[in-house]
């Protein structure tokens, strides 16, 4: 590992990764490789998580292809040195911002979108002119294998490398000195990464999780709310960081909402064949322990052998239930009933800041209130998940749900140092800033800086 990183440092120092032409060529190589490996990636995502081809393409393969296409269009412009305004008192001066690559990047990924969540940051690292080492999740072994083959047959290891293994491997990699660590995963491991990074004062992006609420108020379009919440919850069998974790529904529309959820599940989710599977037995057991069978109003069909849990609705849940004590990360949807929106706001604010929040309402005042009173990473009004797929929106958490943003141009920025500088002519050299500092100079500076 040390050897690979040393080679990557030397490669970066040769300046080869910095030109626009090099970066574009590498993005094109990556795109061709993804297209070439598309059938294998689709297969391995099915083997690891039982992802349907639609989910595999829309949330993993097609997702990253469209990011490359977007960056190819804009990269030249993003790389331009940007001229900014200069205050009047800095006479005969021009001011600039230059985006320079950081150097050697480490990317650590989770199991739930095992391809997209390492390739998306990799695209940003390449576009910004860096080298990178990827450490994918060891849980999704088949996807890990295809990632290894794709990366090793596409890039020289001194430019892009991939390390595999369990958390002990990640622990070893984390001892090395990188220029940026991009981590996606749980809060607990995020802390380990942050601590390791602090030894070298390495900047980090931490894309973490948590409990993301959805609120359905009395003015919501209940049919649409049910459909969109179920989509966001049950894609990838609920194993999405921005899945609505739990629902707060107003008591006046509770019965209608539950009946719409049930009907939608019957109409659209009865084919269990195309539904995702839990990644491993440990998580299967963990989820199983969160279910209070007395509160289940739909679902709870299980098959331990093939790690299947059907879409499950748990009603009349309170914060005392085990299901509300941790991020669910599975196909279980708890419903909490509320009367007073202010109490809901206070309850959410008393918890850690969520990664996402979804609001279903047709009331503008409610939109304003929720969005201005509650802090969260990102979200949607009358939808779920969709803020993630717009590359023009920054994606990331806040507080407990993470730090740093990426996607589209934000990925380019996160892996760049914004080097600022001024350029001054030498023909005139006014004496204002030089000693001795007379009273006249003091009074002049007071008039200028106020
Ligand atoms: P995880 O934190 O268990 O594992 C993530 C990575 O960390 C893996 O590559 C693993 O090898 C490594 N790792 C595990 N234990 C380690 C240790 N002790 N030391 C060093 N490295 C270690 O996460 P997961 O279970 O794969 O993913 C689920 C979590 O990720 C959820 O909390 C979810 O919300 C979050 N997530 C967040 C986002 C986001 O964009 N914010 C996206 C997907 C998942």
Q: What pLDDT score was predicted for residue 261?
A: 98
> How close is the Cα of 166 to the center of ligand 1, in Å?
12
Any idea what the Cα angle at residue 94 is, between residues 92 and 100, rounded to 5°? Answer: 155
Q: Return the closest-CA partner of residue 84 out of 76, 93, 71, 75.
A: 93
pLDDT at 89: 86
Please give the model's pTM, rounded to 2 decimal places: 0.96
Phi, psi (deg, nearest 5) at residue 296: -75, 125
Question: Residue 373 C-alpha to ligand 1 middle, in angstroms?
Answer: 29
Which atom of ligand 1 is closest in space to residue 190's alpha carbon?
A: 2
* Distance from the Cα of residue 276 to its chain's centroid: 21
Q: What's residue 432's pLDDT?
A: 83
Alpha carbon of 184 to ligand 1 centroid (Å): 6
Q: How far is the CA of 80 from the centre of ligand 1 (A)?
A: 35
Residue in 110, 195, 355 to alter for ligand 1 test, most ligand atoms within 8 A of Cβ? 110
* Structure tokens that stand for 19 in this block: 């030109």
| pLDDT score for 88 | 87
Looking at beta carbons, which pairs linking 290-299 to residues 24 or more positions away fall under 8 Å? 290/322, 290/323, 290/326, 290/328, 290/330, 290/332, 291/323, 291/332, 292/317, 292/321, 292/322, 292/323, 295/321, 297/258, 297/262, 298/261, 298/262, 298/265, 299/265, 299/331
Residue 240 CA to ligand 1 center (angstroms) comes to: 12
Q: Give the architecture-level CATH label for domain 213-389.
A: 3-Layer(aba) Sandwich (3.40)
| CA 210 to ligand 1: nearest atom | 34
Residues touching ligand 1 (Cβ under 6 Å) are 108-112, 117, 135, 137-138, 167, 170-171, 184-186, 189, 192, 207-209, 241, 327, 329, 355, 397, 402
Do the beta carbons of residue 229 and residue 244 sit within 8 Å?
A: yes
**pLDDT at position 91, please?**
87
The predicted pLDDT at position 374 comes to 98
Alpha-carbon distance 377 to 365, whole Å?
21
Residue with the smallest CA separation from ligand 1 atom 18 is 167
Which pLDDT belongs to residue 70?
A: 97
Which residue has the least CA distance to atom 15 on ligand 1?
A: 167
SS3 249: strand
185 C-alpha to ligand 1 centroid (Å): 3
What pairs with residue 374 in β-bridges?
A: none
| Start-to-end Cα distance in the chain | 54
**Ligand 1 atom at minimal distance to the Cα of residue 171:** 20
Ligand 1 probe mutation, 162, 189, 286, 377, most atoms within 8 A of CB = 189
Residues serving a catalytic function are 207, 241
Phi, psi of 248 (to 5 degrees): -100, 115
Every domain of the chain and the residues it spans = 2-208+399-419, 213-389
Q: Residue 440 contacts by C-beta under 8 Å, 6 or more apart in sequence?
A: none
From the CA of 74, how far away is ligand 1's center (Å)?
A: 31
**Site to substitute for ligand 1 among 107, 185, 209, 393, most atoms within 8 A of C-beta:** 185
Take atom 34 of ligand 1 and give the residue whose Cα is closest: 209
Best of 186, 206, 376, 404 to mutate for ligand 1, by most ligand atoms within 8 A of CB? 186
- Which ligand 1 atom lies nearest to the CA of residue 139? 26
CATH code for residues 2-208+399-419: 3.40.605.10
Per-residue pLDDT of the chain (450 residues; tens, 9 = 90+): 999 999 999 999 999 999 999 999 999 999 999 999 999 999 999 999 999 999 999 999 999 999 999 999 999 999 999 999 999 888 899 999 999 999 999 999 999 999 999 999 999 999 999 999 999 999 999 999 999 999 999 999 999 999 999 999 999 999 999 999 999 999 999 999 999 999 999 999 999 999 999 999 999 999 999 999 999 999 999 999 999 999 999 999 999 999 999 999 999 999 898 899 999 999 999 999 999 999 999 999 999 999 999 999 999 999 999 999 999 999 999 999 999 999 999 999 999 999 999 999 999 999 999 999 999 999 999 999 999 999 999 999 999 999 999 999 999 999 999 999 999 999 989 888 899 999 999 999 999 899
Structural tokens at position 443: 């009074």
**How high is the pLDDT of residue 274?**
87
């Amino acid at each position: 590992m040390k050897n690979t990183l040393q080679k990557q440092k030397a490669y970066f120092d040769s300046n080869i990764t910095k030109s626009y032409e090099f970066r574009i060529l590498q993005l094109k190589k990556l795109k061709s490789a993804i297209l070439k490996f598309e059938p294998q990636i689709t297969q391995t995502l099915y083997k690891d998580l039982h992802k349907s081809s639609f989910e595999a393409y829309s949330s993993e393969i097609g997702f990253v292809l469209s990011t490359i296409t977007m960056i190819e269009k804009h990269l030249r412009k993003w790389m331009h040195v940007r001229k900014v305004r200069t205050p009047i008192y800095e006479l005969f001066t021009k001011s600039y911002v230059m985006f320079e690559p950081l150097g050697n990047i480490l990317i650590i990924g989770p199991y739930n979108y095992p391809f997209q969540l390492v390739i998306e940051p990799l695209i940003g690292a390449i576009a910004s002119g860096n080298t990178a080492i990827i450490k994918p999740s060891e849980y999704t072994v088949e996807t890990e294998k295809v990632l290894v083959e794709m990366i090793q047959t596409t890039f020289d290891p001194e430019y892009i490398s991939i390390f595999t293994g369990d958390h002990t491997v990640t622990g070893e990699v984390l001892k090395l000195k990188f220029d940026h660590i991009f981590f996606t995963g749980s809060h607990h491991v995020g802390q380990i990464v942050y601590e390791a990074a602090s030894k070298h004062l390495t900047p980090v992006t931490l894309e973490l999780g948590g409990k993301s609420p959805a609120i359905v108020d009395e003015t919501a379009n209940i049919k649409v709310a049910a459909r969109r919440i179920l989509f966001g919850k049950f894609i990838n069998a609920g194993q999405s960081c921005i899945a609505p974790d739990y629902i707060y529904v107003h008591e006046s529309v509770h019965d209608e909402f539950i009946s719409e959820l049930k009907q939608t599940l019957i109409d659209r989710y009865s084919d269990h064949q195309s539904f995702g599977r839990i990644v491993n037995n440990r998580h299967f057991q963990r989820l199983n322990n969160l279910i209070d069978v007395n509160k289940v109003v739909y679902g709870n069909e299980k098959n331990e052998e093939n790690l299947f849990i059907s879409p499950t609705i748990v009603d009349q849940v309170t914060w005392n239930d085990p299901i509300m004590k941790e991020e669910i990360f599975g196909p279980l949807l708890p419903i909490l009933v509320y009367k007073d929106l202010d109490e809901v706001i206070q309850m959410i604010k008393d918890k850690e800041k969520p990664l996402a929040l979804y609001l279903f309402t047709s009331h503008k005042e409610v939109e304003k209130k929720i969005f201005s009173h509650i802090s969260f990473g990102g979200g949607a009004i009358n939808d779920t998940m969709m803020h993630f797929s717009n590359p023009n929106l920054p994606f990331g958490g806040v507080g407990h749900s993470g730090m740093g943003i990426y996607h589209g141009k934000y990925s380019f920025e996160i892996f760049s140092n914004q080097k600022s500088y001024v350029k001054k002519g030498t023909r005139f050299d006014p004496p204002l800033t030089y000693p001795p500092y007379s009273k006249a100079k003091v009074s002049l500076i007071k008039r200028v800086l106020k």
